[in-house]
Amino acid sequence: MTLTRRHLLGMGAALGGVAALGGWSLWQGRGQSPLLLSARNDDAGRHYCAGYFLDGSRAFATPVAERCHDVARHPFLPLALFVGRRPSRESYLVDLRDGRLLQTVHSQPQRHFYGHAVFHGSGDWLYATENDLSEPGRGVLGRYRLDRQSLQLIHEGEVPTHGVGPHQLAWMPDGESLVVANGGIRTEGSREKTNLDSMAPSLVIMDRQGELLSKETLQHQQSSIRHLAVADDGTVVTGQQYQGEAWESVPLLAVKRPGQPYQPFPVAASQLAMMDQYTASIAIHSRRRQVAMTAPRGNRFFVWDLDTAATLIEVPMADCAGVGVVDDGFAVTSGQGRCRYFGYRDGQQASHWLDLPGGWWDNHLRLG
């Protein structure tokens, strides 16, 4: 992320609070290997907020009460929110230098977390997808202000997501509007799906004050829009989870290019069959114009050319989970097997195992 003058001014104001924790400059210079952040379980089913450098050294593994899903990295401070997985009522703000738990963020009454959140570029605000249990299925974005002195997130209201069952969200390139994947599935504070015959998935672009800018749908009503990534030029790619019959062939990727309608991203029928109606994590390498996707139920990892949809990488990988962009390619975690690096350049595929612990990684990762 490029630091702007606004960010630097904000950083200076924030360092008062951060300084109390000490060692920011030392942490910033620690090691040359990117830091991978992800939720993780152990063999006994205990839950952790985990940070590992890609060279295999462990930064921290902080035990927490509830399983987390995605990680919202602060844009310039050594902080991240590990977001509770649906229907969790807790998320965890962690100091990335040592894994110290700074705050357990509790959801508001009649709300639960949906596993995803993002910090605004100013560093002052966090937006989290949540479910309104008083009107089940009504999606909201919880708005949280980061108090820079106490380094605590404070709930400051919410705005609607203009859809049902919001899941992942991301900033558009302007840094002020958000794209939200409304999965379309109602839940009543549990993981039970209560409206499979009347689902209403939608892809929404809205500003952070809640104003709806666009709302589009796909042809198949039971194609739940779950995860997404945004390229530097504003191209949005989404991954779906189909709730219909197992034998039906339904597009599981879709793309919204700037100025064009939201439509299926063309992949081979054989690839669709291998995905087993379920996609997980999406990542876009903007510089290389590549989009990567994990299909954990199908034990398959894919990379396509973002512009032509040509397949660049298609490999088996046991329970592949999170995928994130690294310098020349992608880092991929696994819920059962080992983690791996994949790259594609000049017509050649490159791959090697990563020195990270195998198994039990959750479906998303962030690199910092």
Question: Would you say residue 163 has pLDDT above 70?
Answer: yes
| DSSP sequence for 28-83 | HTS-SSPEEEEEEE-TT--EEEEEEETTS-EEEEEEESS-EEEEEE-SSSSEEEEE
The confidence score (pLDDT) of residue 192 equals: 82
Looking at residues 206-219, what average pLDDT do you find? 97
Looking at residues 347-366, what average pLDDT do you find? 95
Token pair 């602060």: residue: 74
Looking at residues 15-28, what average pLDDT do you find? 50
Looking at residues 175-192, what average pLDDT do you find? 90
CA 258/CA 303 separation, integer angstroms = 21
The confidence score (pLDDT) of residue 23 equals: 45
**Contact (CB, 8 A) for 118 and 169:** yes
What is the tens place of the pLDDT at every residue in 53-105? 999 999 999 999 999 999 999 999 999 999 999 899 999 999 999 999 999 99
Looking at residues 173-188, what average pLDDT do you find? 94
Cα torsion at 213, 219, 225, 228 (round to 10°)? -70
CA distances from 174 to 41, 112, 120, 171 (A): 36, 28, 11, 8
**Contact (CB, 8 A) for 80 and 74:** yes
The confidence score (pLDDT) of residue 41 equals: 96
Q: Residue 239: which of 288, 193, 276, 188 has the closest Cα?
A: 276
Token pair 């958000």: residue: 178
This prediction's pTM:
0.92
Residue 187 confidence class, pLDDT cut points 50, 70, 90: confident
The confidence score (pLDDT) of residue 3 equals: 41
The confidence score (pLDDT) of residue 32 equals: 62
> Cis omega before residue 160 (within 30°)?
no
Question: Would you say residue 7 has pLDDT above 90?
Answer: no
What tokens does 97 get?
């230098």
Question: Would you say residue 2 has pLDDT above 50?
Answer: no
The confidence score (pLDDT) of residue 225 equals: 97
Using DSSP bridges, classify how beta strands 58-64 and 68-73 pair: parallel, antiparallel or unpaired. unpaired
What is the tens place of the pLDDT at every residue in 28-64? 545 567 999 999 999 999 999 999 999 999 999 999 9
Helices (H) and strands (E) in the chain, counts: 3, 28
The mean pLDDT of the chain is 91
**Contact (CB, 8 A) for 219 and 163:** no
Question: Would you say residue 236 has pLDDT above 80?
Answer: yes
The confidence score (pLDDT) of residue 264 equals: 98
Looking at residues 293-312, what average pLDDT do you find? 98
What is the tens place of the pLDDT at every residue in 104-137? 999 999 999 999 999 999 999 999 999 999 987 7
CA 281/CA 2 separation, integer angstroms = 24
Question: Would you say residue 188 has pLDDT above 90?
Answer: no
What is the tens place of the pLDDT at every residue in 242-252? 999 999 999 99
Question: Would you say residue 25 has pLDDT above 90?
Answer: no
Percentage, residues of the chain above pLDDT 90: 85
| DSSP sequence for 208-228 | TTS-EEEEE--S-TTEEEEEE
Residue 184 confidence class, pLDDT cut points 50, 70, 90: very high
With residue 27 as reference, give the H or E element that holds it. Answer: helix 24-28
